[in-house]
Structure 1
Amino acid sequence: MELDIKQIMARLPHRYPMLLVDRVLEMVPGKSIVAIKNVSMNEPFFEGHFPHHPVMPGVLIIEAMAQASALFSFEGDETVNPGDKQIAYYLVGVDGARFRRPVVPGDQLRLEVTADRISRTMCKYTGRATVDGQEVAEAKLMCAIRVLEDA
């Protein structure tokens, strides 16, 4: 299953400058995803990180993996849609994060995330990011799903 940017935006609440998934190449609902983030010099974070040597912040690579995880975890489940204003899907834990090399403008970040455990309240994942076949980051992620009372 593939998703374009319009389909991604229907499933995630994130918008510019925090939407960090541009396309989904492969998705097995409830199991795994392969998604793409095209890294452009126009990204707002490059203005300050760093003006003389632009590098994508590692925390944003982790965030991109978490956004990708939200896309596949509840696909097809009508009761949970991370894009719903009544639902909050929070990144609540990161373990074993490793950054192997910098991600710079012009790179295409390939996000590969698999589910270790999915429930209606807490989910765990293993994420990996590559550029041109080389691993740039990896981490274990934990996300929580909450229903918002005041939305």
Structure 2
Amino acid sequence: MSRLDKSLVSASLLLQIGAWRAPIFMIDRIADYKPGENASITVVKHVTFNEPYITGHYPDNPVMPGVMIAEVFSQASEYLSLLNDFTDRYQNEWRKALVSFDDVAKALTTDSGVATIIAERKRIIGYLVAQNIKFKHVVFPGDSLYVTSQLTAVDEKGFCHYNVEARVGRHIASCGRIINYRSENKQSERSGR
């Protein structure tokens, strides 16, 4: 089985650790994740005729809007940030480094691993900005979008910079840069979560 046929987490855990809900939940599977200084993630988004935005964009020639591809970039980059936080916290609490896809996948099948990543999701909120997004190939219903986000830098103010790319097969559909700033979720502290 190729890596792109695997999923890092179950569908139900993917939904629990996502900061989004329908109709804007855009990730179907986390197909790859590499922790560490040059961390990266690959996610899969299957584009279907059932997507609410497809019926109006465009009725006689449906295509995935560029803004929705940018949303997939943002969600992939936020999952990457969350998984990096998780691997750091896991190493601090259990004194065990998670250095591969399989290590992280295994840790996320344990009760303590699931509790840790859900606690991280509640503790942190991310703010994302897209930069220099270029669209090069049309994405149609029936296509599978493979999106990669790679951490390139963390600047002195704590902003994480990611290079992002979306492919349909061998064609680059879109590419650009995402900037992510993450902070403590004050609302979660007030509600006692």
Quickly name the TM-score band, shorter chain normalised.
0.7 to 0.9
The alignment status of 1:70 with 2:75, answered yes or no, reads no
- Within-5 A mapping of 1:1-151: 2-30=8-36, 31-75=39-83, 76-78=87-89, 84-92=121-129, 94-118=130-154, 121-151=158-188
SS at match of 2:50: coil
Alignment TM-score, normalising by the size of structure 2:
0.69
Aligned length: 150
SS at match of 1:139: strand
Q: Distance in 2 between matches of 1:4 and 1:137?
A: 27
User: 5+ residue gaps in structure 1?
Assistant: none
Please list the CA deviations of residues 83-123 of structure 1 after superposition, one character each: whole Å capped at 9, or x if unmatched. 7234221212x222110121110000000111012479421
Q: Distance in 2 between matches of 1:102 and 1:37?
A: 14
Identity of aligned residues (%): 29
Q: Distance in 2 between matches of 1:77 and 1:40?
A: 36
Instruction: Choose between structure 1 and 2: higher strand proportion.
Output: 1
CA contact (8 A) 1:8 1:71 kept: no
User: For the aligned residues, what is the CA RMSD?
Assistant: 2.4
Please list the CA deviations of residues 21-48 of structure 1 after superposition, one character each: whole Å capped at 9, or x if unmatched. 1011110124001110000100001122
CA contact (8 A) 1:128 1:138 kept: yes
User: 5+ residue gaps in structure 2?
Assistant: 1-6, 91-115, 189-193
State the Cα distance separating 1:50 from its structure 2 match: 1.4
SS at match of 1:74: helix
Structure of larger gyration radius: 2
Q: Distance in 2 between matches of 1:78 and 1:24?
A: 20
Instruction: Choose between structure 1 and 2: higher helix proportion.
Output: 2
Q: Distance in 2 between matches of 1:22 and 1:10?
A: 13
SS at match of 1:54: coil
